Structure 1
């Protein structure tokens, strides 16, 4: 069983994470090093805004690298199996609300969530409510605006 602090990813999400990390370690570091070198060539570093901005970029980049490396250490790749017939990470789910409106979502790990792409986190209220349910199950989602009811129409 995965640890509580695990970070869940699809194969695609993990590949994107590794790619972003590699880009920060190579391209971004080199770009910042070049900016620092240029800023140093301007002279007095104590009042050199270019140098200060480049140092700030370096600090932020290294913090992001550390964050992504930590996520990678805790990464658990989730293999979706539609044959199980229940909602899990990686499932594409169609639900119907109380008014008959149908919504389509893909359940993903928190780090892959993107509402604009209809990717919702397994940790979101709706994601939590849908997990482990089967086709035609009714689920209740507790939100700040009250309880919303959904019926699972399809799971892919």
Structure 2
């Protein structure tokens, strides 16, 4: 059974649009590539045809994977979420206890993660270590470089 993924309304809409794009334009583009390769003659020695068929298989696998994610997607109602502790969709300001550096992240679904905009996946080591923490608590998080301590400074929605 697949894992349940929690999404914001915007993230869920983006996922639906991407899936629709793959099903329509993407399939059409691959179908045209296969037809062009087929027109070039003998299929037993046609590398373009083989490449197009392989691309079709990968494309269909991606569509199948996205459909599974959508089937297990849950939309979070932010008004019903406890804002006193770190949960999915929380915006959390943390301080590295050792260096004193502060960072602000929003914990989002894996498909919505974007480090440039400060959105990290709830499945990441930092997010997992922060889940359930309240303001003032210290989270000890094991990362590839070792163990780090972060103090939760602020939790908002």
* Fold agreement, TM-score > 0.5: yes
Deviation of 1:59 after TM superposition, in Å, equals: 0.5
Name the structure 2 match of 1:91.
90
Distance in 1 (CA, whole Å) between partners of 2:125 and 2:77 is: 22
Superposed CA offset, 1:1-20 (max 9, x none): xx982122222221111111
SS in 2 for 1:84: coil
Q: Which runs of 5+ in 1 are unaligned?
A: none
> CA separation in 1, counterparts of 2:83 and 2:116?
27
Between 24-33 and 12-21, report the one with greater CA deviation. 12-21
Q: Does the CA-based 8 Å contact 1:94-1:154 persist in structure 2?
A: yes
Extract structure 1 runs of 4+ deviating beyond 6 A.
none
SS in 1 for 2:45: coil
Aligned to 2:129: 129
Instruction: Answer with 71-80 or 17-26: which moved more.
Output: 71-80
Q: How many equivalent residue pairs? A: 154
| Residue in structure 2 matched with residue 108 of structure 1 by the alignment | 108
Name the counterpart of 2:41.
Answer: 43
- Correspondence for 1:155: 155
Gaps of 5+ in 2: none
